[in-house]
Amino acid sequence: MAHTVFHTCSLCEATCGLKFEVEDNCIVSVRGDDDDVFSRGYVCPKGIAIADVHHDPDRLRRPVRRNAAGDFEEISWDEALDLVAGRLGEIRAQHGSNAIGFYWGNPTGNNHGALLMLSSFTKALGTRNRFSAGSQDANPRLVTSYELYGSSISIPIPDIDRTDYFLCLGGNPMISNGSVMTAPDMRRRLRAVRERGGKVVVVDPRRTETAKEADEHVAIRPGGDAAFLLAMVRVLVERGRVDRRFLETRTSGWSEVERRLAAFTPARVAAFTGVTAETIERLALEFADARSAVCYSRVGVCVGRYPTASTYATDLLNIAAGRLGREGGPMFTTPAFDIGRIARMSGLDGHHRWQSRVRGLPETLGDLPSTVLADEIETPGPGQIRAMVTLAGNPVLSAPNGKRIGAAFEKLEFMVSIDIYINETTRHADVILPPCWNLAEDHIDLLFNAVAVRNIARWSPPVVQRDEGELADWEIMLELTERLGGGPLGEPWIDRPLRWLRPFGVRWTPTGFLNLILRLGPYGDRFLPWSDGLSLEKLKAAPHGIDLGALRPGVEERLFHRDKHIHLASPRMLEAIAALERDIEAKAGENGLVLIGRRELRSNNSWMHNLPSLVSGRERCVLYVHPDDAARYQVCDGELAILESRVHRGEVRVAVTDDMRPGVVSLPHGWGHADSAPWQKVAGEHAGVSVNDWVDDSVVEPIIGQSILNGVPVRLEPLHRAA
C-alpha cells in the first residue's frame, strides 16, 4: 500500500523538508515538502537523490569480515560485535587505551543517535586519540567561539533574512545552503537582501556561484582574509565608527586589541591581500553605514593559512561595529534541543586540554587534528595507535596527504569501520559494521538547528522499515560500548541502573533522551500537564515542523565566561594576530601558483559519487585555471596536465575559466575513487582525483593545529612536457 512520509533531508546542513511516496517499503518518489516550516519546498539534487543512497545495490546490508585471502565475507551481527569488542579489548589491555584511535565523519552530524553516542563510546574506549572531519574545516570557528564567548557552541549566525548588508568571505552558501549557517534556498534569501535595497558582497579568490549572485565580488588572495578584515576594523577605529558603548559594557580587552590594529592599515595590507586600500576602506564604511549588516566567513577561511585569525577577525568586525546580537547582524540561536548544553554536560566543550603525542597539537571539542593521524600510527612508543575505529568517515579522501593515511592504516593490528560503503578508508578495515542508514530511523535536527537562521523544531518518522536484523549507528555503538564496559551516557552512576532495568524493558534511546532535553529546554512543557510547551508528542503531531520564530536579539544568554563578557584579548587570539603581522611584509610579494578547494552542488564531501543521478553529465573533478595561467604554464582547456606539490605529483584535467583569480587554481573536494572501484562501481567509473593528496600534512597553523587546505603551493605543467 502506498503512503506519504515527511522526513528531513539528513544529508547536509540545509536540513530541507522532504516528501516521500513509499510503496511496499520502497521509495518511489522524493520531492520538496511545500509545507515545511523552514525549507518551504526547496530541495537540491542531493535531496532528490537520497532514495538512491538507500536503494544503492553497492551499499552494505550485513557485517563483513576480511578473510585470509583478503576478500570481504558476510558474518552474523553477534559474531561481528564479539570479534570487534574482543580485539579492541585485547589491544587496550596490552598497549593501553590510547592505542585505539577513533575517527568520525560529517554524516554523524545529521544522525542524532550517533551524535549522542560519541562521548560515551569514546569513554568506553578510554582513548584520547579521537579525530573528526571537523578538524579539517570547523575548528577555527569552534576555538574562536570558546575563547571569545566561553563555549565552542556559542556561534553567531547571520540573520540573513533581516540584514541589509551581507559580507561573505570564503563561503559559497548558494551551493552549501549555509555552512554553520543552516539556511535552505540561499538563492531566494540572497535575492531578498537585494530586493529590500541591501547589498551582497563576496570576498573569494574564485568567482563562486554566490559571487555571481552578489552585487560585488572581491577577488582576494588566498590567506588574505584576516588582514583584510582587521584593516576594515582599523578603518572603523580611525573614522570613529566603532560601537564604544557595546565594547565597554559587553567586552573585555578592547584597548589591547585596538593597539594591535595599528599594524593593519589598508595601505599596509593591500599587497598582502590583493585588495586595494580604497576598496577596503569603502567596504568598511559601507558596512558601518548600513542599517543592519553582518560579516560571515566559512570553509575557505577556516582552511586557509591564518584560519584562527580570520575567524576571530570576522567576529571582531561584527562586534566593533555593534552588530552582534542585533537584528540583521550575527545572532545566537535559541534551539529547542540545546546541543551546547549537551556538550557541556558530557564534558566535550573545551579546547587544549590535551595534546597529540608526536607533534603536540591541541585537542578541540574532544578531537585532535586529523593531520596528525598518520604520525600517531607510524611513530613507535607508548600511546602509539595500533587499532582504529572509523564512523561514517573517509579520512583517506578528506584529510591532508590521504595516501599516507591509507598506507598507515595497512600497518594497524586491527581496524573496524561503521559505514554503509566499502570506500577508500573502509577497504583497509578488518571488519565493517553497516548501519540500517538514516531513512530507516526517526530523525531529529540536533546539531544544525543550533546554527540555523531561524529557530525551528522537527521530528521525522522513519521513511521505510528496517530489514530484519539491521541495527542503527547508535545501536552498533551502544552494543560495542557495553561490551567494552561502558554505557549509553558514559556515567557509571546512571549507566549501572539502566543496565539493571534493561531486563524489565527499560532501555535508553537517543530520541527518548532528547525528549527530556526538549521538555526541559527553552520551549519545553517542563512536564507540567497544563503547559502548552513542547514535548516529543507535540513535535510528532506537526509533520512539517514547528516554527519557533526569528533569532532573538541579545548576547548574554550565550556568554559563558564567568564575567559574562566577550574576551577579545584572548591570548590565543592575540597570538594568531601576532603571527599574521609577522608574515605580512615577508609574504606580500609572493606570486607563485597556489591550489584551493571548492564545493560542488552535486557532491556531498566524498560519499555520494556512487549515484548515477549525481555524477552524470559533464566531468566535475577538473582543475580550474585562469586563462593567463593557462597561457603561462602552456596547459589547454579539456586536456590533462601535471600538478605537483611537495607531497604529491599527479595528472589533472584542466578547465580554463576567468572565474579564478590569476595565480590560483582549484580542485573540488571529495573525489579520488579509483581504489574503491571494485565495491562502488559508479564512483569507480567517475573516479577523479583527491585534492587532499596535494596537501602537505606537515604544514599546520600552530595555534590550533588546523590543516592548511587552501593556498597550497603547486607547480603546473603540460602533460607532454612531463612525458
Which residue, of 12, 36, 55, is where some domain finishes?
Answer: 55
Give a yes or no: residue 235 inside a domain.
Answer: yes
- Angle of helix 510-519 versus helix 112-125 axis, rounded to 10: 110
3-state helix, strand, coil in the chain (%, to 5): 40, 20, 45
pLDDT at position 591 is: 66
Which residue, of 55, 70, 97, is where some domain finishes?
Answer: 55
**3-state DSSP call for residue 525?**
coil
Give a yes or no: residue 489 inside a domain.
Answer: no
Please name the residues in contact with 37: beta carbons below 8 A apart, sequence gap of 6 or more: 17, 456, 458, 544, 545, 546, 547
Give a yes or no: residue 630 inside a domain.
Answer: yes
d(CA 659, CA 208): 7
Please name the residues in contact with 176: beta carbons below 8 A apart, sequence gap of 6 or more: 12, 13, 14, 186, 298, 299, 599
Which residue, of 18, 37, 55, is where some domain finishes?
Answer: 55
* Cβ pair 182, 358 in contact under 8 A: no
**In terms of domains, do 558 and 630 share one?**
no
pTM above 0.85, yes or no: yes
**In terms of domains, do 249 and 203 share one?**
yes
**In terms of domains, do 705 and 639 share one?**
yes
**In terms of domains, do 572 and 613 share one?**
no
The total of other beta-carbon atoms located within 10 Å of residue 506's CB is 11
Q: The CATH number of the domain where 227 resides is what?
A: 3.40.228.10
**In terms of domains, do 213 and 265 share one?**
yes
Give a yes or no: residue 338 inside a domain.
Answer: no
pLDDT at position 490 is: 82
- E strands, 126-198, are 130-132, 157-158, 165-169
Q: The CATH number of the domain where 685 resides is what?
A: 2.40.40.20
Give a yes or no: residue 138 inside a domain.
Answer: no
Q: The CATH number of the domain where 10 resides is what?
A: 3.30.200.210
**In terms of domains, do 651 and 569 share one?**
no
**3-state DSSP call for residue 433?**
strand
Strand 199-203 vs strand 165-169: parallel, antiparallel, or unpaired?
A: parallel
In this prediction, the residues of the chain whose per-residue pLDDT falls under 50 are none
Identify the CA nearest to 270 among candidates 312, 224, 302.
224
- Cα 662 to its chain centre, rounded Å, is 28
Give a yes or no: residue 379 inside a domain.
Answer: no
* Cβ pair 392, 20 in contact under 8 A: no
Give a yes or no: residue 421 inside a domain.
Answer: no
The total of other beta-carbon atoms located within 10 Å of residue 127's CB is 21
**3-state DSSP call for residue 382?**
coil
d(CA 335, CA 154): 11
pLDDT at position 655 is: 98
**Domain containing 174: what range?**
159-326+554-578
**In terms of domains, do 562 and 606 share one?**
no
**In terms of domains, do 174 and 239 share one?**
yes
Identify the CA nearest to 709 among candidates 394, 371, 403.
371
Instruction: Classify residue 464 by its DSSP letter.
Output: S
Give the burial string for 210-243 (b: 16+ CB within 10 Å, else e): bbebbeebbbbbbbbbbbbbbbbbbbbeeeebbb
Give a yes or no: residue 12 inside a domain.
Answer: yes
**In terms of domains, do 559 and 621 share one?**
no
pLDDT at position 100 is: 98
291-305 residue pLDDT tens: 999 999 999 999 999
* Cβ pair 19, 30 in contact under 8 A: yes
Q: What backbone phi and psi angles, to 5 degrees, belong to 449?
A: -70, -25
pLDDT at position 721 is: 66
Q: How many domains does the chain have?
A: 3
**In terms of domains, do 172 and 293 share one?**
yes
Q: Fill in the amino acid letter for 131.
A: F
d(CA 698, CA 399): 12
**In terms of domains, do 264 and 177 share one?**
yes
The total of other beta-carbon atoms located within 10 Å of residue 627's CB is 13
Q: Between the CA of residue 593 and those of 170, 206, 246, 571, 646, what are the distances in Å?
A: 19, 14, 43, 33, 13
**In terms of domains, do 179 and 312 share one?**
yes
d(CA 421, CA 425): 10
